[in-house]
Amino acid sequence: MRSAGAVAGMARRSFLSGLAACLPYYWRSAYAHDIGSIKPPLEVPEVAVTSSDGLHAPLRDLLRGRVTAIQLMFTRCKSICPIEAVTLARVQEALGDHPPDDIRLLSLSIDPITDTPELLRIWLQRFGARPGWTAASPAEDDLPRVRTFFDRRPNLGEIHATAVNLVDRSGLLVWRTLDLPSPAEVAQLLLRLNGTLRG
């Protein structure tokens, strides 16, 4: 006859085994809809932003009319954000001389108190941003809505997701990449959404 401790140990091991078996399904079911094509597309929230050139406008107005790649960041970040910025710099290189009026890159801050237009301009200059790559900070009151919409997946131990969000000309989120995507992948997605590449 087993002791009470042995029975409790077996029950604990059984519970942990069952939990381990369930975790992969949980993560797949909870987050699979957040990667790749977003169906149906999601309308970007009506939040106010201030761009690196000092323009105050609704985010939708900033996005409308261009295919846009959006990546979360903040200028005080010393770990993953510079890597993300290098990714966008290489996306610009991969796009070559493609007209900036068609495609936009947007570094969207999650630190609106600190990230003034001046600091955002310095950030862009640091990484060699050309026309077509801008940065913006949401209004402080709108930050929770920005985080809820764009920052929905687990990330690499950072305080924000490192995926790139692709928005079409109508301001609809249509694609979300994996964390830290390759510049070539982002550039190809932008060109496809723009109608330059087929397939």
Distance CA 128, CA 118 (A): 15
Structural domain of 24 = 1-34
Higher pLDDT, 26 or 120: 120
Question: For 25-40, what is the mean pLDDT?
Answer: 58
pTM: 0.80
Are 105 and 72 in the same domain?
Answer: yes
**Per-residue pLDDT tens for 164-173?**
999 999 999 9
β-sheet bridge partners, residue 40 = none
For the record, the structure tokens of 32 come out as 């699979």
The count of structural domains within the chain is 2
Pairing, β 172-176 against β 36-43: antiparallel
Confidence at 100, pLDDT banded by 50, 70, 90: low
In which order are the strands placed within the sheet that holds 165-167? 36-43, 172-176, 165-167, 67-73, 103-109, 133-138, 48-51, 56-58
* Residues 189, 119: Cα–Cα separation, whole Å: 29
Question: Does some domain include residue 199?
Answer: no
Based on the domain organization, do 48 and 15 belong to the same domain? no
My answer on whether 118 and 86 are in the same domain is: yes
- The model's confidence at residue 199, banded by pLDDT at 50, 70 and 90, is low
Please give the pLDDT value at position 116.
98
- Residue 66, pLDDT above cutoff 70: yes
Mean pLDDT of 139-159: 80
Query: Which is it for the CA torsion 163, 154, 123, 51, positive or negative?
Result: positive
- For the stretch 51-63, pLDDT in tens is 999 999 999 999 9
Q: Give the whole-angstrom CA distance, residue 11 versus residue 58.
A: 55
